[in-house]
Chains A and B, each alone.
Chain A
Amino acid sequence: MATVSLKKLTKSYGPVAVVQGIDLEVADREFIALVGPSGCGKSTTLRMIAGLEDISDGLIEIGGRKVNDLPPRSRNISMVFQSYALYPHMTVRENLGFSLKIAGAEKEEMDRRVAEASSILGLDQLLDRRPSQLSGGQRQRVAMGRAIVRDPDVFLFDEPLSNLDAKLRTQMRTEIKKLHAKVQSTVIYVTHDQVEAMTLADRIVIMRDGFIEQVGTPDEVFRRPQTRFVAGFIGSPPMNLHEAAVDDGQLLFQSGERLPLPSQFKANVATGDKVVFGLRPDDIYPTGHGISSGEDADVHQMELPVTVTEPLGNETLVFAEFNGSDWVSRMLNPKPLKAGDRVKMSLDLSQAHLFSAETGKTLRG
């Protein structure tokens, strides 16, 4: 079990910098998710921690020990690959025990640890099969088993669930969470799926273009996004984000329509400021079909035309037109609506976000 610390970590291929001097402290036994769109540098960061990729500049410490130039085998980590990377010419048992065999472990010790890992992951029946005889989910479990057997300081996961179908993915997600509760070790988990990141991680690191945009608990990144990018990336369906100008205590949208300036931002903006206004679908709802979180005074009512509805059973996503584009709203306890209906909507402005149009940073004080 160990801490991981990255200091000014940089990776460039020639003139192209893919990771641009990131700093990150991962606490002992913490579950950290690196999330971001493809090409944001999250996988490269993970591979640098693993030692599979040379670092261009900066410092990596695992358990307080500098590991910059150590080969992967000397870092006491284990990694689960997106492709699983099981050894096809070995049985499940040999796959699980491979690292111990390389380390020259005794036969009894090897059997004991393989049995331990296989019972944690329910692989007992599969030990004598080869990877080609396993289903996707089983392979995934073997890959995790191989990681556990090593008893590493840090677990690294590189998009481990992205090759599974949706149902299995949800199931394995729960298993990974249980596993972390059981083995209690430091985990760094790379994914492009924000739902995976939100559900699994103690803290989420959102990356973009080789930089860290924000580090925070799932709750923090959801409720207090520091940048416009984070606001748009976290949450499903995504936050409604629209550019506006501050005009005399109001927000003036491009179409000429107006909304009151949310009171929590009044002190931080002045007339003429260009801003981006953000409101989550949860905070817009047909009046009477949602939950207001703030004072009623902060809830702005307006009538909007419905363009599309997407019923999900327990709730319906209602797309309503405002400022020339569709705003997603979430209707709880749904009532029948159809396109073209004009509906009275409630906008819970106490939950609204404002970002600088120029820098993309939050305007929250």
Chain B
Amino acid sequence: MDQNSLHRARNRALGIAHGVGLFLAMLVICLPGIWIVLSSLRPTVEIMAKPPVWIPRELSLDAYVAMFSGIGKGGIPVLDYFRNSLIISVTSTVIAIVIGMAGGYAFARYRFRAKSAMFLGLMLTRTVPGIALSLPLFFVFARLGIIDTHFGLILVYVALNVPFTIWLIDGFFRQVPKDLAEAAQIDGCTRWQAFWQVEFPLAGPGIASAGIFAFLTSWNEFALASQLTRSINSKTLPVGLLDYTAEFTIDWRGMCALAVVMIIPALTLTFIVQKHLVGGLTSGAVKG
């Protein structure tokens, strides 16, 4: 075999190995998701079977039907939970993005006293595990009377997300050359107009990704929500999962069905925003 065909064979073998490796990695990542969807459609015996039944023998939507069929018929107040989740997540995300934009812009563009100390302080808040805060938060919220309210959870999630959105959005504003806002001001914009007309659209993808992260954090958060909510007034979907646990049994099928209901909006949102996340918009602004 001559050198050329040797190299060709080796490249082909490497390509195949590459493909197999990627497939295995994707399998590890996707399998839990697939398993949840499958489990929501099959009877408990099959879910609990050992060794596992890989190919489902019967599929049914019973769990979904039961979920929406009301208290007493195996249902849970899923619509209330969904509404609570939506209100809390959307509101806290919007607030976190607004604060993140203001803060990120300030950190990216202005010089002020104790700037790096403040930035470090914001980042340090991320090092505290949320669960460690649950007890103090519970006491404070109990005193304030905001346990089991939308407001309480929104407050927690805004505090949780703001350092992150500031950090992310700061990075994106830094990538927008300063010259652009100056050019816009010379072209007749006020400082405010220059921001909205030029800097905001260019940092848009970054702001959108900060939004997704903030939304998903709020949407999926369980530990704090389970402490700070009590009833259908404020319980979110992750907390609602607990409704499927009884004293001695866990309804895995129902829980998986609710998990699917939770995943779908998050997945949809990510897909919608994803196409706006393409980077490289700023390329070509400056230099050749």
Instruction: Give residues in A with beta carbon < 8 Å to B.
Output: 50-52, 71-73, 77-79, 81, 83-89, 98-99, 102-103, 130-136, 139, 146, 150, 163-164
Give Cα A139–Cα B198 distance, bound, in whole angstroms.
Answer: 18
Q: Is the CB of B189 within 8 A of A131?
A: no
* C-alpha gap A52/B194 in the complex (Å): 13
Residues of B close to A163: CB separation below 8 A: 287-288
Assembly CA distance A163 to B281 (angstroms): 21
Q: Which residue of B lies closest to A78 (CB)?
A: B186
Partner of B285 from the list A79, A86, A99, A136 (CB cut-off 8 Å) is A86
**Do the beta carbons of A164 and B185 come within 8 Å of each other?**
no
Between A and B, 8 residue pairs with Cβ closer than 8 Å are A50-B186, A71-B185, A72-B186, A73-B190, A84-B287, A85-B285, A85-B286, A131-B284
Cross-chain contact B182 with A85 (CB below 8 angstroms): yes
Inter-chain contact total with CB atoms closer than 8 Å:
95
Q: Which residue of A71, A85, A134, A150 contacts B179 across the interface (Cβ within 8 Å)?
A: A85
Q: Does chain A have a CB within 8 A of B201?
A: yes
Q: B193 in the interface, Cβ–Cβ < 8 Å?
A: yes
B13 CB-CB contact with A under 8 Å: no
The main secondary structure of chain A at its interface with chain B is: loop
Q: What is the size category of the interface that chain B forms with chain A?
A: 20 to 34
Cα of A87 to Cα of B283 in the assembled complex, Å: 10
Q: Once the chains bind, are A87 and B198 in contact (CB under 8 Å)?
A: yes
When the two chains form their complex, are residues B287 and A86 in contact, meaning their CB atoms are under 8 A apart? no
Q: How far is the CA of A86 from the CA of B182 in the complex (A)?
A: 11
Write the nearest CB–CB distance from B277 to chain A, whole angstroms.
15
- Cross-chain contact of A85 among B183, B189, B281, B283 (Cβ < 8 A): B183
Q: Is B19 an interface residue (CB 8 A)?
A: no
CB distance from B183 to the nearest CB of A (A): 4
Q: A88-B284, A135-B288 are in contact. Are A102 and B179 (CB under 8 A)?
A: no
B190 touches A85 (CB 8 A): no
Max chain B C-beta neighbours (<10 A), residue from A77, A86, A163: A86
CB 8 Å contact bits of B177-201 with A (1 = contact, 0 = none): 1011011111111110100011001
Q: Judge whether B288 and A85 touch: CB under 8 Å.
A: no
B41 at the interface (CB under 8 A from A): no
State whether the Cβ of B282 lies closer than 8 Å to any Cβ in chain A.
yes
Task: Indicate if the CB atoms of B284 and A130 lie closer than 8 Å.
Answer: yes
Collect the chain A residues with CB atoms within 8 Å of residue B193's CB. 102
Name the A residues within 8 Å of B285 (CB-CB): 83-88, 131
Q: Roughly how many angstroms separate A132 CA and B288 CA in the complex, as a whole number?
A: 9
- B288 lies within 8 A of A98 (CB): no
Is B237 part of the contact surface with A, judged by Cβ < 8 Å?
no
- Sample of 5 further A-B pairs with CB below 8 A, known A83-B287, A99-B187: A52-B185, A79-B186, A85-B182, A85-B286, A146-B187
B97 contacts A by Cβ under 8 Å:
no
Cα A274 to Cα B184 with chains together (Å) = 53
Decide if A79 touches B283 in the complex (CB within 8 Å): no
Q: Given the complex of chains A and B, what is the CA–CA distance between A89 and B196 in angstroms?
A: 13
B182 to chain A: closest CB distance in Å? 5
Determine the chain A residues whose CB is within 8 A of the CB of B177 once the complex forms: 83, 85
Say whether, besides A88-B281, A89-B201, A98 and B187 are in contact (CB < 8 Å).
yes
Cβ contacts under 8 Å, B283 to chain A: 88, 132
